[in-house]
Every structure is written in structure tokens, then in C-alpha cells.
Amino acid sequence: MRKMHKKGAVEMSMQTIIVVVIGVTLLTLGLRFVYTTFSGIGEQQKGISDMTDKQLKELFGQSEDPLSLPKDNIEMSQGEKQVLDLYVKNPGSGTSLFKVTIPALNAEDMPTGASDPTKWLVWTKSGRTLTSGKGFVDKLQINVPKNAITGSYRFGLNLECGDTEICPFSTILSLEVK
């Protein structure tokens, strides 16, 4: 009878080994499936983001406004950085230098106690010469400091150029710091 107990124990440990091997195999296959399924999502998101940016550029390229933003209301947190596209276009008939300026804010355009938030903004200040119908995309970087006062800020973006039919042209960028 002793031999039967040993044989049963060996048989039981063989079954355990087989179950563990099958379990590890299934787990490996399952993880591989999940990895291949979800690894393409990041690439798809980037592709969708690139297509959206391209469509926005095409949309603003068709706009008659000489200065456009993809969005004019944004929310940011203290210490956050964000980059927006500024679309500048010459809808006139001549060639002219186009330059974006952002003047200091008035007291009513920012929370009480805030210092000049135009220091948070970085963009190309020199401008570009554009022929009729041509345009360019500039980057407006917003760097909200960690100690910024929370509240609403309204920036006036002004476009200056030599064509009096087009310029001066202005648009507003509203920033909510949370």
C-alpha cells in the first residue's frame, strides 16, 4: 500500500506542474494580446491629434480674419505651460510686415493683486513679411507661474501691419488660472 501513496503523490505533483505550465502559458498569451491591442492606441491618438491640427490650420487658412486662435478660452493650473498656435494671414492685396503685439493688461482684465501677466507669454515679436493671401503659424507659449493669482485674465492680441484696410486688428484670449 505504501507504493500507492507514493504513486498518487507523484501523480498529483505532475498534475500540479501541468496546471501551472498551462496557467503560465495562458497568462503569457493573454498579456501579449492585451499589449498588442492597447499598444496602438497611443499612435492612433497622435494621428488623430495631427489630423485635427491639420484641419484647424486649413479652417483658419480659409478664414478672412488676419489673426486667429484655435481657441480663445483656455483653463490652466498654476505652474502649467501650454503652447497655442497663432494663425496670421494677409487677406489684403499687397505685401506687408505683420507683427503680433500683446500690450500690458489693464487692472479690470486681471484679478486684484496680480502683476503684469504678459511676462508669462512668449511669441515671435519681430513679425514676418507676407504677400497677398499668404500666412504663417506662430507659437504662443503660456507659462503660468506656480505663484500666479488664480482668476480670469483677458489678453488683447493686436496685429500690426502696413495695410490700413487690415490693421489694426485685435482678438481676445481669455485665460482662467485655477
List the domain boundaries for the chain. 1-62, 64-177
- Bridge partners of 88, per DSSP, are 67, 136
Asked whether 142 and 81 are in contact (CB, 8 A), the reply is yes
Pick the CATH number of 64-177 from 3.40.50.300, 3.30.70.270, 1.10.4000.10, 2.60.40.10: 2.60.40.10
Asked whether 139 and 86 are in contact (CB, 8 A), the reply is yes
Digits of tens for pLDDT over the chain (178 positions)?
445 566 666 677 888 888 889 999 999 999 888 888 777 777 777 778 777 766 766 565 556 778 888 777 888 888 889 888 888 888 878 888 888 888 877 777 888 877 888 888 888 878 888 888 788 888 888 899 898 888 888 888 888 887 777 788 888 888 889 8
Give the C-alpha separation, 128 to 138, whole Å.
Answer: 10
Q: What is the DSSP string of the chain?
A: -HHHHHHHHHHHHHHHHHHHHHHHHHHHHHHHHHHHHHHHHHHHHHHHHHHHHHHHHHHHHH-S-SEE-S-SEEEE-TT-EEEEEEEEE--SSS-EEEEEE-PPPPGGGS-TT---GGGGEE---S-EEE-TT-EEEEEEEEE--TTPPPEEEEEEEEEE-S-TTT-SEEEEEEEEE-
Q: Supply the pTM of this predicted model.
A: 0.59
